[in-house]
Amino acid sequence: MNQHPHPLTQSSQSWEDARLSPWSRFGDDEWRLDIRTAGRRADQKRFSWALAMPEHTRIGNSDHVQLVRAAKHFLWSMHYHPPSGRKRSSPASIHHKAMLLRALLEWMACEGHSRFAGIDPASVEQLCKWLRCRPARAGGGKGNISTATITNYLLVIKDLYRQREKLNDAPLVDPLPLETTYEAAGHTRATQGVIPFIPEDVAVAILSEALRWVEEHGDTIVAAEAIRREARAQGLRRCKRQASDHVRAALRLASLAGPSGERLDGAYAVRHAAVHLVEACYILIAGFVGMRPSEILSMKTGAIEHHPIGGTGVNQAYVVSRLFKTVDDLDGRRERWVAPAPVVRAVELLEQLSAPLREASGRDDLFLVKNTQYGQIVPVTHMHIAWRINDFARHVGIPDHDGKPWRFSTHQFRKTFARFIARRDRTQLLGLAEHFKHASVAMTARGYVGNDFDLHGLIDHEARAETAAALDRLLAAKRLGGKMGERIVAGNARFRGRAGEQLRRDYVAFILKETDLRIHACDYGWCVFQQETSRCGGELQPNDAGRAPAVCLSCANMVIEAKHGAYWRDRRRRNAALLPEANPMTAAVLNEAIGQCERVLAQIGDDDGQD
């Protein structure tokens, strides 16, 4: 137990009675979380701490109860008192961390760890081995869990250590003193995996089919569904047993045909077509607007609005929905997206198709489904719509890719939308970033468009100025530390001195004009960021959570100049002061850190203040 607990830990009642949601407190064993993001299943909004003891447990029941209590206390701290610079954990984030902690407690019980305080670097190494043998939940349990998932577990361990002063039970020593969570998990660019773009021929095929269903056959399917419902209601009023006969007679009299030429002459054929039409509408919105799945599934009646464009007198149609990502409000923030004519038509069809379900349920969502098990009318979930998109692709005969059917996911349409826009007009990145509600153009360019498009004149002027100044100094330097610093010094002789001034200016101008290179500052050096060689796991820029002196020194992007000498001298002095009272394991860590400092100071020619 910590010698001096944080004031917040003095009264156990204060955190156990704290509200987690309108229905649950942090001390409860059954949690109902207030998660309102569209598309989540009911089980993704509940969590039970009634954990059964593992079969091969090595701790007692009372120890297990205390571990569960410590896990709840940790999640309370992440919600009400997160680490400095971090946002409070949202209800969805708490649910995610609770799932990770449940597996972590299982491992601790089997390994004989009765307290989080006993977790050290050796324990984390054992945890990583155990995690790598666990089957993945996705894909029917085939294969082991991903390195990204292992990273999430290690982040929980690291956060427990960061919160140690606020908790009664937490790791007392840094569980990852010499490497980042990404490195410990083996999570690199090669192993991380990405959501793929839909291949162009496949994307064109499914969007064309969805467009054909909406524009050419939407009215027919809606009319057939209206006839079916009315005929069934009349049949039930007359004779319940003959209701289906009444439906067939009415549909045959209407003589309507579906998208493949099939006769819509029975209840099953009509319902089947109506279900696929909803899927076609979703695909059109996702592919032509690029909204996130949660944004599409949260659409409600009246989702199309028209607003004038400046003083032109021309009206533009917009889809109105809720934005959940990066928004603190649990209900999301009302936003609007530019909507082309086919999307406006798709929304109109959705309103007509969902009308009976809305009337029966009292809801105003456009994506509703009747739960076959309980007969309830509920919103469509991410999992359900993903399955239905693939079902639509099979039904309309989307061609195979590389000899096998393409496996669609909901987010692929958003990335493919961005890629189509950027490949045809690179000047549209600013508009695309605004349309996507992104915080930066770089997020759009790197995360959605791809690495083959640089940002040219769209890069922030402040970042350009800092990069230019740093490049000028580094190219003129005779001594630099870090791996990138060694490479620069080995090849910058022609840029040094007065003779190299013009050459430096020309080269810096070339770099800024022709590449998206940016140099990022930190207390102990510069990062000439390149994603492919980044050790911190950054994608668009250095990842602050993964950065550390030891990590950066092993990274090919690192440059250290004389101005950073004071940091390395101070780091060497602080570590040396801890050596006399350190145990052998800690001493080895401290000596390694001191050695790093001395190597850097030797590289930059700064040996002042030798201890």
Q: Is residue 105 part of a domain?
A: yes
| Three-class DSSP category at 365 | strand
Q: Is residue 244 part of a domain?
A: yes
Q: What angle do CA 279, 339, 341 make, to 5 degrees?
A: 80
Q: Is residue 610 part of a domain?
A: no
Q: How many domains are there within the chain?
A: 4
| Three-class DSSP category at 90 | coil
- In the chain, the N- to C-terminal Cα span, in Å, equals 35
| Three-class DSSP category at 440 | coil
CA distance 506 to 537: 32
| Three-class DSSP category at 235 | helix
Q: Is residue 348 part of a domain?
A: yes
Domain edge (last residue) among 192, 209, 238: 192
Q: Do 260 and 183 belong to one domain?
A: no
Distance of CA 261 to the CA centre of its chain: 42
Q: Do 368 and 479 belong to one domain?
A: no
Enter the pTM of the model: 0.56
Q: Do 112 and 134 belong to one domain?
A: yes
Of 264, 262, 259, the C-alpha closest to 225 is 264
For 290-320, the pLDDT digits (tens) are 888 889 999 999 999 998 876 667 788 889 9
For 169-211, the pLDDT digits (tens) are 999 988 888 777 777 777 654 444 556 778 888 999 999 999 9
Cβ–Cβ under 8 Å, residues 383 and 41:
yes
Q: Do 449 and 472 belong to one domain?
A: no
At 276 the pLDDT is 96
Q: Do 82 and 135 belong to one domain?
A: yes
Q: Is residue 500 part of a domain?
A: yes
The segments of the chain whose pLDDT lies below 70 read 1-13, 136-143, 187-195, 240-241, 310-312, 326-328, 372-374, 418-466, 512-516, 607-611
Q: Do 454 and 489 belong to one domain?
A: no
Q: Do 467 and 538 belong to one domain?
A: yes
Q: Is residue 145 part of a domain?
A: yes
CA distance 225 to 227: 5
Distances from the Cα of 598 to the Cα of 41, 478, 502, 578, 580, angstroms = 55, 19, 35, 17, 19
Cβ–Cβ under 8 Å, residues 157 and 175:
yes
Distance of CA 429 to the CA centre of its chain: 21
The tokens describing 146, both together, are 């991903």
Q: Is residue 2 part of a domain?
A: no
- A 10 A CB-CB count for 96 gives 16
At 4 the pLDDT is 39
Q: Give φ, ψ of 603 to 5 degrees.
A: -65, -40
User: Which region, left, alpha or beta, applies to residue 255 given φ > 0 means left and ψ of -120 to 50 means alpha?
Assistant: left
Q: Is residue 609 part of a domain?
A: no
Q: Give φ, ψ of 535 to 5 degrees.
A: -90, -15
CA distance 420 to 443: 16
Q: Do 178 and 29 belong to one domain?
A: yes
At 23 the pLDDT is 93
CA distance 382 to 380: 7
Q: Do 402 and 453 belong to one domain?
A: no
Residues with Cβ within 8 Å of residue 208, at least 6 apart in sequence: none
CA distance 88 to 96: 14
CA distance 487 to 503: 18
CA distance 234 to 227: 11
Residues with Cβ within 8 Å of residue 237, at least 6 apart in sequence: none
Q: Give φ, ψ of 574 to 5 degrees.
A: -65, -40
At 449 the pLDDT is 39
CA distance 292 to 571: 45
Amino acid at 365: D
Q: What angle do CA 250, 251, 252 make, to 5 degrees?
A: 95
The tokens describing 335, both together, are 């936003």
Give me the sign of the Cα torsion angle 574, 577, 580, 581. negative
Q: Do 99 and 245 belong to one domain?
A: no
The tokens describing 282, both together, are 């979703």
DSSP track, 547-567: --HHHHHTSTTEEB-GGGHHH
Q: What CATH number should be reported for the domain holding residue 314?
A: 1.10.443
Q: Do 387 and 338 belong to one domain?
A: yes
Q: Do 410 and 491 belong to one domain?
A: no
User: What domain range is 47 assigned to?
Assistant: 7-192
